[in-house]
Amino acid sequence: MIAVVDQAIDTRAVADAVRDRRHGAVLVFEGVARDHHDGKQVVSLFYEAYVPMALREMEAIAADTRARWAGVSVAMVHRTGPCAIGEPSVVIAVGAAHRGEAYEASRHAIDELKRRVPVWKREHYADGSAWIANKV
Amino acid sequence: MIAVVDQAIDTRAVADAVRDRRHGAVLVFEGVARDHHDGKQVVSLFYEAYVPMALREMEAIAADTRARWAGVSVAMVHRTGPCAIGEPSVVIAVGAAHRGEAYEASRHAIDELKRRVPVWKREHYADGSAWIANKV
Amino acid sequence: MRVVIRYFAALRDIKHRVEETVELPEGTTALGAYAAMGLPTALPVAFAVNMERVPGGTALAHGDELVFLPPVGGG
Amino acid sequence: MRVVIRYFAALRDIKHRVEETVELPEGTTALGAYAAMGLPTALPVAFAVNMERVPGGTALAHGDELVFLPPVGGG
């Protein structure tokens, strides 16, 4: 499952997409809208995506992850539009035979997503807003 | 939330136990009963625990994890009794401001759980069963 | 040649548009198109043509979809 | 002195019991109790007294709960 959605992400569905009788570990990462950034109080987030290219990049990251860690399953869903504090903006699920590869593959997938998937984040504060880039 | 339960683990409830407006990452690890081990086909698993000591050890691991990674939240639930292939035997949720500490704290918690929590696993095969220790 | 340009994030705010179809001289590069649209050269944008990241010096072709990518913030 | 012993996993299979209360001479150690129960010395067990891991040489006290811990397999 690779998707960009404009409503709340169903984390359980993302996790269920990677389940397999051969897997001993399922690791689910949720990137969640948090109420602060660089000392500023954040009221809400807004995500914008270049959707068709984002999907291509997410598919490429999933394929690369499966190639590096043979046998793992990967699902990734990113949200667009307004995202309230506490809600996930991205969910990545990885299933693997053993936990070591689940942790490595999951970390690789989220790091790559943050580096190259064309999605932009606007933080809203009490007194304005700003587009915030990921640290490279 | 630290618990030992004798029925299916509610993964969502474990994840929800660590949610916090200050967290930007929630990482949920599920250890899942898998259908093979060392080349043998596994039909089902059975877990036995020294419950009061298991709870003490899990509390100690959670406290140690929170001490090492300040600000993280930790929840851990282990299951006992029969566990069908594909069902989680353990769920560990970690919430953190940033993903780096979520991955490190989660990995630490499951590694420690596997090392020292008094829980035993019996694998059932088509032709018998055996108690299986974690690799040290 | 005719090229479709789509704008996102800070560039959408500046241009007040989501997408436009423009006529550009043959041989115009991605970076050339960026300058031709009057966008601030100080912005550290990357370029995607037909959803592939390309260097700024890449020459555009008729029918291309061109997107200027500000630093991403997903996750 | 009286000590409660609880058995788990392989040891429960061997003893066919979950728990027993035994009378042991004063000064008996955790390891001594293990031998006194006729359990196979080849098993690599650890010891818990009142839910704390202790060395095998630890002397038991009246009222202690003693558990022999086979290698764990949780997770």
Tell me if D43 is assigned to some domain: yes
Complex-level ipTM beyond the 0.90 threshold: yes
Q: Are A134 and C51 an interchain contact pair (Cβ–Cβ within 8 Å)?
A: no
For chain B, how many structural domains are there in total?
1
Tokens of A37: 């950034």
Q: Are B29 and A27 an interchain contact pair (Cβ–Cβ within 8 Å)?
A: yes
**Reduced to 3 states, what is the DSSP secondary structure of residue B37?**
strand
Tokens of A126: 């009490």
Tell me if C46 is assigned to some domain: yes
Tell me if D25 is assigned to some domain: yes
pTM: 0.95
| B contacts of A110 (beta carbons < 8 Å) | 99
Which of C6, C9, C53 is closest, CB to CB, to A131? C9
Query: Can you give the CATH number for the domain in which C9 is found?
Result: 3.10.20.30
Q: Which residues constitute the domain of residue A113? A: 2-132
* C-beta separation of B78 from B47 below 8 A: yes
Q: Could you report the per-residue pLDDT of D23-49, keeping only the tens digit for each?
A: 999 999 999 999 999 998 878 899 999
Closest B-chain CA to D67: B50
Q: Could you report the per-residue pLDDT of A26-60, keeping only the tens digit for each?
A: 999 999 999 999 889 999 999 999 999 999 999 99
Query: Can you give the CATH number for the domain in which A122 is found?
Result: 3.90.1170.40
Size of interface A-B (CB pairs under 8 A): 86
Calculate mean pLDDT across residues B72-87. 97
For chain C, how many structural domains are there in total?
1
Q: Is A59 touching C (CB cutoff 8 A)?
A: no
With a CB cutoff of 8 Å and minimum separation 6, the contacts of B30 are A15, A25, A26, A27, A28, B11, B88, B90, B91
Neighbours of A15 (CB within 10 A): 23
Q: Are B31 and D75 an interchain contact pair (Cβ–Cβ within 8 Å)?
A: yes
Q: Chain C interface residues facing chain A, Cβ-Cβ under 8 Å? A: 6, 8-10, 12, 48, 51, 53, 67, 69-75
Tell me if D74 is assigned to some domain: no
Q: Which residues constitute the domain of residue D14? A: 2-69
Closest A-chain CA to C48: A53
Tell me if C60 is assigned to some domain: yes
Strand partners, B46: B82, B122
Tell me if D42 is assigned to some domain: yes
* C-beta separation of D73 from D47 below 8 A: no
Q: Is A135 touching B (CB cutoff 8 A)?
A: no
Q: What are the Cα distances from residue D43, in Å, to A62, B118, D36, D40, D69?
A: 45, 16, 15, 6, 10
Low-confidence stretches of chain A (pLDDT < 50) are none
Q: Are B34 and A22 an interchain contact pair (Cβ–Cβ within 8 Å)?
A: yes
